[in-house]
Amino acid sequence: LPSVLSSLWLTGALVSVDAMGTHRNIAEQIILQGGDYLMALKDNQPILKGLTESIFSSTTPISVYTTEEKGHGRVEKRTCSIMDTTLLEQEGMYEKWPGLKRIIKMERERTENGARSRETIYYLSSVEKDEASYYAMRIRAHWGIENKLHWHLDVTFREDMCRVRANNGAVNFSAMRKYALEMLK
């Protein structure tokens, strides 16, 4: 990820990163290159995730934004809440994350065929906005891109059905599928 980021012009850009890329050095690189970050916070940062969960369970957020979508036989409700980093500062975590301005909680509740599921994901951001709707739209856009790519790979190219496993075959086939998808677009 650092080498990919270094090849990009990030000035004024918001870089959204899933939990695998949520590391201080990545945050620092994005900030140094003039960008901002929105990083998913999961179990790869257990102390910070625990503090963030604790803060959201005991404090009133700056802003809350809720959306509800119906389609494809399901209802999905998303609630985005944001906090500033004051409470993290008190725990000594603030200085360890370059540019950190907001912590975000995204709750998703999905009802499909009578079955209900819930998921909560936390995020870190260097953007200092006080509207939860701003973060909700950026998080949704991140997953929209991810979902569209995987849907095409699974449905159009039947990637999940592929049994190529030897040597570099799986990586080569994956690259060819993505190239073909771009050519078709």
Number of other CB atoms surrounding residue 81 within 10 Å: 22
Torsion of CA 92, 93, 99, 105, to 10 degrees: -130
Q: Give the chain's largest Cα–Cα span.
A: 52
Q: Mark the ranges of the chain whose per-residue pLDDT is less than 50.
A: none
Residue 142 confidence (pLDDT): 67
pLDDT per residue as tens digits for the range 51-76: 999 999 999 999 999 999 887 788 99
Residue 121 confidence (pLDDT): 94
pTM: predicted TM-score of the whole model, two decimal places? 0.78
Residue 56 confidence (pLDDT): 94
Residue 155 confidence (pLDDT): 63
Residues 70 and 120: their CA atoms lie apart, in Å, by: 20
Residue 114 confidence (pLDDT): 84
In Å, how far are 24, 92, 149, 179, 182 from 185, measured between CA atoms? 36, 48, 12, 10, 5
